[in-house]
Chain A
Amino acid sequence: MASAPPPSAAELYRPNRYVSLPAELDPATYDTSPEKLRAEAERLAIRSRLKRQYLLQLNDPNAPAIIENPALIRWAYAKSQNVYPTFRPTPRTSFLGAVYGLAPFLFWIFVLKADRDRKEKRIQEGKHKPSPLSVFL
């Protein structure tokens, strides 16, 4: 019976939501296959096209005052105006909506009401005298 190979350094590190894997432990840094090179070349082509557009606008003598960034506009639009059209009520979204939207409201209603009732009972039993400066109660 063959035993499993020893865990790799990347598996021992266990990157999660708070830290990412260092580049030295990631096997993707060390692979030099032609697909990866082609992918990198395509990304570089996109990047240099964008940089050229940006630098042309930046160094233009008849330049507009603000160079607007379409990526920023799309990000702001996606986070604000695109949420409602793309929202769909599913079991998960309804549950999350109830938990985050309704539950704190109802929780505080009941807590504050119970606290006020307890104070009212104490005042009527005579245990708690509100100070002469108090505007409430």
Chain B
Amino acid sequence: SEMSKDMMPGPYPRTPEERAAAAKKYNMRVEDYQPYPDDGLGYGDYPMLPNKSQYERDPWYQWDQPDMRHNWGEPMHWNFDMYIRNRVDTSPTVVPWHTMSKHFLLFLSIMLIMFGLGEIYPSYRPVGPKQYPFNDLYLERGGDPNKKPPAVIHYEI
């Protein structure tokens, strides 16, 4: 495109003049502009915007791009494609996150522990081997009808 080199992102700004120029380049106020810390990870002078998803923006305002809830020329978050409305949503929840995670993990761990204990120490009514009639189903199992079957008695008197 026809954008000049000084309109593109560059290295981390060191002097206050570079910071002011970078803020102007990204269409931000100088006080709002906060670059990522200079850790060598490859961010350069890109601004660090709050990690909020596009879901949190006002649905009733007339955005230039309503599906993205983004205005023309507004600086985009580094992870903009993660924070679109089809993906990650950081809207505030009714119940705080730590309460939710505590309830969920407690429930899950108690259920798993109880199921595990039930596997190790099973408990059920006493059972015995199944008793079949007709001398243990002698004819149904293919016994010879001419021979006398072995007598199988399941009771005691």
- Contacts from A to B (Cβ < 8 Å): 12-22, 39, 42-43, 46-47, 50-51, 53-54, 67-75, 77-79, 82-90, 92-93
Taken residue by residue from 128 to 142, chain B's Cβ proximity to chain A (1 for < 8 Å, 0 otherwise) reads as 000000000000000
Q: Are B96 and A14 in contact (CB under 8 A)?
A: yes
A-B contacts at CB below 8 angstroms, number:
118
Closest 6 pairs (CB-CB, A-B): A88-B40, A83-B42, A22-B92, A54-B72, A50-B73, A86-B44
Residues of A within 8 A of B75 (CB): 71, 74-75
Q: Is the CB of B73 within 8 A of A87?
A: no
Q: From residue B82, how far is it (CB to closest CB) to chain A in Å?
A: 12
List residues of B (1-53) whose CB comes within 8 Å of A's CBs.
1, 3, 7-12, 25-29, 31-32, 39-44, 46, 50-52
- Chain A residues with Cβ under 8 A from B10's Cβ? 82
Majority DSSP secondary structure for residues of B touching A:
loop
- For residue A96, give the distance in angstroms from its CB to the closest CB of chain B: 8
Binding site for A on B (CB under 8 A): 1, 3, 7-12, 25-29, 31-32, 39-44, 46, 50-52, 56, 64, 71-76, 78, 80, 90-93, 96-98
Which residues of B have CB within 8 Å of A15? 92, 97
